[in-house]
């Protein structure tokens, strides 16, 4: 049987390339905070968004982080257990949580942020300033063209 390649080269295939680059980066970044601070990826994401925007509800954390509500709920539970988060419930709508980092959580957050920024800087260091802004733009476009 003759099989001429129908022309899909995995290594040049954009979804594949994006995913391998991203997976490597995510994995090595996750090592940074999981080893030292014993946080899972969802836990770190919840902390990261609450460090910046305290007072969000779990649902708002979902939309901010593009995470599913199940992992968010579980991460919130764990962070509460660890004493890294405070939770109240809205008076107006008692289903709605109001989440923020506790003192301890904020302390941890301020330790992780410099590591995160240093990591990002290291990543970006292989690009020129022009390339960096070009990358921003391209990611915006890809994201925009992909709004579900």
Residue 30 has, within 13 A of its CA and on its CB side, a CA count of 12
Candidate ranges 9-17, 74-82, 90-98; the one touching a copy of itself (CB under 8 A)? 9-17
Decide whether 38 or 110 has the Cβ nearer to a copy of itself. 110
Are 117 and 48 a contacting pair, CB within 8 Å? Answer: no
Partner whose binding site includes residue 59, from a copy of itself, DNA, none (CB under 5 to 8 Å by kind): DNA
Least Cβ distance, residue 146 to DNA (angstroms): 17
For the CA atoms of 76, 77, 83, 84, the dihedral, rounded to the nearest 10 degrees, stands at -10
Which residue's CB is nearer to DNA, number 41 or number 132? 41
**Partner interacting with residue 93 (select from a copy of itself, DNA, none; CB below 5-8 Å by kind):** DNA
Whose CA is closest to 81, among 105, 62, 60, 57?
A: 105
Nearer to a copy of itself, 10 or 94 (CB): 10
Point out which residues bind DNA (CB under 7 A).
Answer: 40-42, 57-60, 67-74, 76-77, 92-97
Q: Does 52 bind a copy of itself (CB under 8 A)?
A: yes
- State how far the alpha carbon of 127 is from the alpha carbons of 4, 56, 67, 102, 121, in Å: 38, 35, 29, 37, 10
Q: Which does 71 bind (CB under 5 to 8 A by kind): DNA, a copy of itself, none?
A: DNA
| Alpha carbons 37 and 34: distance in angstroms, whole number | 5
């Amino acid at each position: 049987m003759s099989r001429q390649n129908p022309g899909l080269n995995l290594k040049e295939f954009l979804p594949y390339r994006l995913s391998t680059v991203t997976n490597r980066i995510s994995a090595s970044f996750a090592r940074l905070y999981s080893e030292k601070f014993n946080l899972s990826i969802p836990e770190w994401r919840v902390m990261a968004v609450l460090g910046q925007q305290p007072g969000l509800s779990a649902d708002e954390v979902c939309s901010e982080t593009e995470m599913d509500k199940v992992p968010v709920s579980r991460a919130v539970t764990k962070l509460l257990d660890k004493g890294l988060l405070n939770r109240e419930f809205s008076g107006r709508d008692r289903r709605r949580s109001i989440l923020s980092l506790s003192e301890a959580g904020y302390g941890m957050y301020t330790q992780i942020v410099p590591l995160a920024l240093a990591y990002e800087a290291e990543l970006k260091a292989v690009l020129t300033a022009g390339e960096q802004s070009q990358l921003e733009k391209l990611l915006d476009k890809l994201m925009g063209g992909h709004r579900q």
